[in-house]
Structure 1
């Protein structure tokens, strides 16, 4: 299919927003190289590309966070210069960040109206008006929390809804959504899509960044693809398909794991029996064998993350037992878990997985420093060798080991976290949302890596909120509902309908295999 550069949905109209020949470099890397993009009034324009393709950099240029080295930005045909984010806001361009940019100790209302708080007598904040207006916005978004609650007390999903609420405070010309559904429940996604369609009907231009192809094809009118910081074409969504777009993004065809057969399980590595923490989860029993991938799937609040954090010693179980190679263990800390051969790639890479100001090599060696230390001195050559091995294996895009992880794309940050834990040579690898915020090409690579790690003899546990992912990588799937394990499915017997029933509490009494497979 042919790329359609600068295709306007309203032929002959001046684009609402236009970028021409935009370039941006950072030390050691050219993030954007002569990129074009235009957005029309009343359209959803999707921006796609692998992690590191330049999407977030381009959006930060639009939002006044970065200044382009070359190129031009026009709003309604007029050239503009955005020196700071407030300039972009005043010009009608609003970026809703993928990474939350809220002030934790301020209330929901104060965050939503930050920079434009309603005043009395031009001096004092009009709290009554503030909370009334914020309450109306929250009602429009079907949010179930109050406007006066500090945002630090909200879940990540609700904090994301606060970010989205900012777009409704004024009438923007262009709203940029950067991975807006990464932390949202299915219900919240429906509400968000209704808001986006409402904004579109009012003539707002929408730039929508997501790695989820179903969202792209449901919402967008056009798709622009970036690869390696360069423009690779613009398509009318109705005239293209996922295969074509993916090929443009990654420059190759994706390999599928759909036909992978489940291996014969090896030695039982970990066995969990009647594990429970009051108010979190109860009576959880399962086992995982060498060479096997066990998926853990359920709705938000089902207890998935709490279970794996208990296995890793972050939480202390109130009842039940954990055995590793038939030895009863008491894992009172992550250090205990690491010593017993467990590794956890956490759900939140920025808060739990990385020291962002530290370079890639030093992040990789953190959980295993004793292995790199001789007589009190760190063997940096050995550290570098280990990092470069995982850089090659995981295809981490970085100029070198010295790059601060803060400057990597989200997908490459995630790969550093995975490499970091693989460097401990674990026998049980737990991955909590391993591909959240990762592009389709990198996601396929990580899925293949998971299968390869299992094939090498690791016992792997994968927690995911994406059904296609859990169905793709798992040999068995544990279905959780409201803190309980409702069913355990084998790959050959599972259907999407059965899995949905299991995670919504509709099949707790249905026949299934025993909770512990006992292979």
Structure 2
């Protein structure tokens, strides 16, 4: 009996970018009715692999086959016509269009040659119900949706193309816990229908729960493919990074008495999102922000960085009243404040501009003499930033969008370190990056704290909060519900405070 060919196969595929090998002689395949994890550090070649499969890139050498037949996709539309649909980490939605318009933007239903708005809306309602998001209003502007809801609309848009191969690139990294469970159920349904799902995630618990097959990539090479359960977590990580894993989190300093705060907020309020936040942040400490998504953490960071208008309450920075009217004011005061934002693609970087320009964007004053940028100072600053964060690049003149996700995040962090901030606000900075880069960021955070910087760190990962932070303020409904430190800083305690309940003693 002849074996059915894989839905998609790559034979000897390589991809070069200006002399840099992104993929080297890769053989890979995915089959019907499988949820197949693609694992590897940022820069391992995962993004290049899926871009070749989905028609965004053409291989330098090698061959792509669909159902056993060679193909040469010239663009994503040709790949979608062959049944290959990719949900990329950077969303493709247009903020100033409605949910319904975005879902059908590639091929809107027409009547008498015009877009049929009623049919377009009905299609959106049907697809949103299919992915269990019937609560999303199809007439709502995408710009008014939360990041998690926007991601779900992106998934509905992809499902509407009836894929036989669905590729998800960190598609759950921006989702709330409820939406993650919804995606789990959806993928199980697609698997039962014979769809091949390729799943890129740095969350091993997701991989273990969802995937039946795992493939590891490292330095542009396909290292190994195996069935779920065939390798331990430690073995998988060693395959990914090519070395034994160090301790995940750097050691914390010995507990000290509370120092005078560099930043204090008291009864901070904004619209219906912040309802009386009181919090202190001292030099040399890492304070975590915990809680379920959407409890005011993002708004608190934006308020501290001067983004929001109409903030009420009292803020004190280095002993003086603090009311930044803009991010420019926050970053240029006597005590400088920096924010690493939630979404590096849309809020942290200018993807089409060179790496060097992105690194200098926040600190042009530091490399200028009067109104003119000093080329020598700028070049040395860029080189120092790249070296300090070990950013893997081809040339500083390359577009920052060509870098892997982890290296893009390093650029965002390095950009803000250019201003030598005294207070550093971090909004989920390790979302969607690999274990090796996460460890580098953890060590950097602790090093910056040891230098006397004050760090306020929001993370959706409770293990990060426990491992990185000296204390954690857990937010619930726009307030700090609990502050935890020492032996009281446990996952159970964080979750109990996040749900506004009292943990029962063990």
TM-score by length of 2: 0.94
After superposition, the C-alpha distances for 1:391-423 in whole angstroms (9 at most, x for unaligned) are: 122110102322221221221111011111112
The 1:34/1:410 distance shift into structure 2, 3 A limit, reads same
The 1:153/1:269 distance shift into structure 2, 3 A limit, reads closer
Q: Say whether the 8 Å CA contact 1:16–1:75 is kept in structure 2.
A: yes
- The more displaced of 432-441 and 257-266 is 257-266
Deviation at 1:267, TM superposition (A): 4.4
Partner of 2:262: 269
The 1:348/1:239 distance shift into structure 2, 3 A limit, reads same
- 2:377 pairs, out of 379, 382, 390, with 382
Q: Say whether the 8 Å CA contact 1:112–1:163 is kept in structure 2.
A: yes
Deviation at 1:262, TM superposition (A): 4.2
- 2:389 pairs, out of 394, 399, 406, with 394
- 1:213 pairs, out of 199, 204, 207, with 204
Q: Does 1:131 align with 2:126?
A: no
Give the superposed CA RMSD.
2.2
The 1:127/1:255 distance shift into structure 2, 3 A limit, reads same
Q: Say whether the 8 Å CA contact 2:36–2:197 is kept in structure 1.
A: yes
Q: Does 1:479 align with 2:474?
A: yes
Partner of 1:37: 28
Deviation at 1:260, TM superposition (A): 2.5
Q: Does 1:327 align with 2:317?
A: no
After superposition, the C-alpha distances for 1:44-82 in whole angstroms (9 at most, x for unaligned) are: 111111112221111111111111111111112111121
Q: Does 1:462 align with 2:441?
A: no
In structure 2, C-alpha distance between the alignment counterparts of 1:11 and 1:483, rounded to whole Å: 61
After superposition, the C-alpha distances for 1:477-513 in whole angstroms (9 at most, x for unaligned) are: 00001101100000321221221111122249x99xx
Partner of 1:249: 240
- The more displaced of 94-103 and 346-355 is 346-355
The 1:492/1:386 distance shift into structure 2, 3 A limit, reads farther
Deviation at 1:361, TM superposition (A): 2.3
Q: Does 1:238 align with 2:229?
A: yes
In structure 2, C-alpha distance between the alignment counterparts of 1:330 and 1:160, rounded to whole Å: 33
After superposition, the C-alpha distances for 1:311-343 in whole angstroms (9 at most, x for unaligned) are: 111124543212223222222222222222211
- 1:299 pairs, out of 288, 292, 308, with 292
In structure 1, C-alpha distance between the alignment counterparts of 2:370 and 2:253, rounded to whole Å: 46
In structure 2, C-alpha distance between the alignment counterparts of 1:447 and 1:435, rounded to whole Å: 9
In structure 2, C-alpha distance between the alignment counterparts of 1:447 and 1:213, rounded to whole Å: 18
- 1:100 pairs, out of 91, 95, 98, with 91
Partner of 1:148: 139
Q: Say whether the 8 Å CA contact 1:254–1:444 is kept in structure 2.
A: no
The 1:150/1:274 distance shift into structure 2, 3 A limit, reads closer
In structure 2, C-alpha distance between the alignment counterparts of 1:124 and 1:326, rounded to whole Å: 62
Deviation at 1:201, TM superposition (A): 0.6
- 2:282 pairs, out of 282, 289, 312, with 289
In structure 1, C-alpha distance between the alignment counterparts of 2:307 and 2:407, rounded to whole Å: 25
In structure 1, C-alpha distance between the alignment counterparts of 2:192 and 2:483, rounded to whole Å: 45
In structure 1, C-alpha distance between the alignment counterparts of 2:286 and 2:95, rounded to whole Å: 37
The 1:420/1:167 distance shift into structure 2, 3 A limit, reads closer
In structure 2, C-alpha distance between the alignment counterparts of 1:59 and 1:369, rounded to whole Å: 36
Deviation at 1:11, TM superposition (A): 11
Paired residues, what number? Answer: 500
1:316-465 pair list within 5 angstroms: 316=309, 318-338=311-331, 339=333, 340-465=335-460
- The more displaced of 92-101 and 312-321 is 312-321
Q: What secondary structure sits across from 1:367 in the alignment?
A: coil
Q: Say whether the 8 Å CA contact 2:471–2:489 is kept in structure 1.
A: no
Q: What secondary structure sits across from 2:362 in the alignment?
A: helix
The 1:150/1:79 distance shift into structure 2, 3 A limit, reads same
The 1:11/1:155 distance shift into structure 2, 3 A limit, reads farther
Deviation at 1:344, TM superposition (A): 1.0
Partner of 2:75: 84
- 1:278 pairs, out of 271, 287, 302, with 271
Structure 2: segments with no counterpart, 5+ residues: none
Structure 1: segments with no counterpart, 5+ residues: 1-9, 512-519
Partner of 1:5: none
- 1:313 pairs, out of 299, 306, 315, with 306
Q: Say whether the 8 Å CA contact 1:107–1:148 is kept in structure 2.
A: yes
In structure 1, C-alpha distance between the alignment counterparts of 2:207 and 2:2, rounded to whole Å: 23
The 1:468/1:376 distance shift into structure 2, 3 A limit, reads same
In structure 2, C-alpha distance between the alignment counterparts of 1:113 and 1:309, rounded to whole Å: 33
After superposition, the C-alpha distances for 1:416-465 in whole angstroms (9 at most, x for unaligned) are: 11111112111111111111121111011111111111122111110111
